[in-house]
Structure formats: C-alpha cells, structure tokens
Amino acid sequence: MLTLIRHDPTLSRASIARQTTLSPASVSGIVDHLIREGFVREEAAAATGAVGRRPVRLVFNPAARVTLGIAIDVRDVTAGLVDLGGEMRATQHAVVAPEAGPAAIVDAVTQVARRALRGVASRDVLGVGVAVPGLVRWPDGAILFSPNLGWRDVPIRAMLEERLGRPVLVDNEVRALALAEHSYGAARGARTVVVIDAAYGRVCEKSAGTGEQRSERPRSQDFSQTLPRTASGGPLSSTARCTAASTGLREKSATTSSSPTAPCAAAATGGAWRR
C-alpha cells in the first residue's frame, strides 16, 4: 500500500480500496498505522469544481525514517544517511591505510557511522547496509574472500552489529549497485540487469532480476585506470555506493524482516542512485 501511495500522490482511502479490492475498513486500519508511524500524512485534494466534499489525499513522507549506507573500499570508508526517498541527508568519510585489517576497518566504519548518525533518533534508523568488495555469505554477512581487501572468513556483520548496536546487512558492492539500479534507477522494470564494476583486482559481474546469475572472474586486462561508472556514464562516487548499500538493506528487509516498518521502508525507497 505504501508503494501505491508513494507513486501516486492523488490517492485517497477510497481509491486505494478500489485498486486493491481490500475492504474500506482494512484500508483505513493500514493507513491509520502508516500515519501514526509518520510514513503518510493526509492533505485535502485540490479543488476540481466537482460537487461534494473534496477527497483527502494520502501523501508519502520520505523523511519518516532513514537508513545508513556504508561503503568499504580499499582506500577509504564512507557512511551516508539516506531517507526513504533515496535522498542523501549526510555523509562522512575516512581514509584508511591499504594494509588495514578488519579491526582497523571496523574502527573507521564505527567512527564515520556515529558521526553520520549524530542527532538522529534511534527509532528513526531502520538499520545499516554495508557494501563490500568480495564474496559475502548470506544471511550471516561474513566475507568469505575479498581479494581487494585481502580478507578471508571475516564476520564483518557480527563485528559491526556489536560496535554499532543496530541491525546490519552486508552484501557484495556490485550486487548492491545492481539492486539499486534495477529497483530504482535506469534499469527499473528490466527483466535482467548486468552491472560491471572495473576497479581494483577483479572484474565483477552481477545481474539482478528474473533468473539472476552471479559470476566473478579474474581480471584479464589492465583496468587500473578505469573508474567505476554509473549506468548514465558518470563516475560512481562513494556516495552512490553508500546509497546502493542502503538500497540493498531495504530490499532484503522487505523479504526477511518481521518488523512492520522495514518492509514499508523497502517499498518506499526511491531514486537510489545519486552521483
């Protein structure tokens, strides 16, 4: 229902009932819950000249909740606070040494995450999404192997949850980018999406959509001067990676979380790519 409201700001309770075939009482119960949680507000529709009382339209509120997207890379870590409309509200960045191990990276992530979350109420944060280079085991979020970072069998999700005190979801950075583009970006609605990220060490190919396939292969030519790029051709910034990580969090929350707010946030998120 939140998806309907987000995509059509002219909807009223009655029109939602007609579209979904739910009873008016069921629609009102769900809408009342969304209003209490701050995801939706009611506004009087514009006058049309028609006879009778103007309908009250339901308006999506993207500022109701935020997620924290974290991008871990070879040279730096970045944290971005993203609202339900995909807008970046705050970013924090830290440079890390190329030889930094898991403990040092977790320390750096903790620092930028806490700075990004400063002043944000705990109840307003749905969780933390982390995008990392390498093979990630789902659902425990362990990095099985990252040739870029030189890591093997690192329980990064458990380490970050202990330090941040919040739910954390971890996924491969290119898969997070593919999810963002497929769900909310230039490839929205496509059956299959392939994202190729050429940067450090390996060329990674991920596809999202029907019949998803994954593959990773060793680099066969020199991509050392090639920067990751968005589907529109622009350079892929750390901010974009953070937003993609946040999108991956919301996508997986929609199918794995029992929290009533996490699926709402997943449905509500839009515009996940920002350059």
Per-residue pLDDT reduced to its tens digit, 26-75:
999 999 999 999 999 999 866 565 555 667 999 999 999 998 999 998 88
> For residue 1, what are the contacts with CB-CB under 8 A and spacing of at least 6?
16, 20, 27, 30, 31, 34
Please say whether the beta carbons of 24 and 35 come within 8 A: no
Size of the chain in residues = 275
The pTM score is 0.70
Joined together, the tokens standing for residue 160 give: 């970050």
Of these ranges, 138-142, 154-158, 174-178, 217-221, the one predicted with the greatest mean pLDDT is 154-158
Q: What does the pLDDT read at residue 72? A: 92
Q: Which domains does the chain have, with CATH numbers?
A: 2-60 (1.10.10.10), 65-268 (3.30.420.40)
Tell me the per-residue pLDDT of 153-204, one tens digit each, with 9 for 90 and over.
Answer: 999 999 999 999 988 999 888 888 887 777 767 777 788 877 777 765 544 4
Alpha carbons 77 and 75: distance in angstroms, whole number: 7
Peptide bond into 139 cis (omega under 30): yes
Higher local confidence (pLDDT), 226 or 67:
67
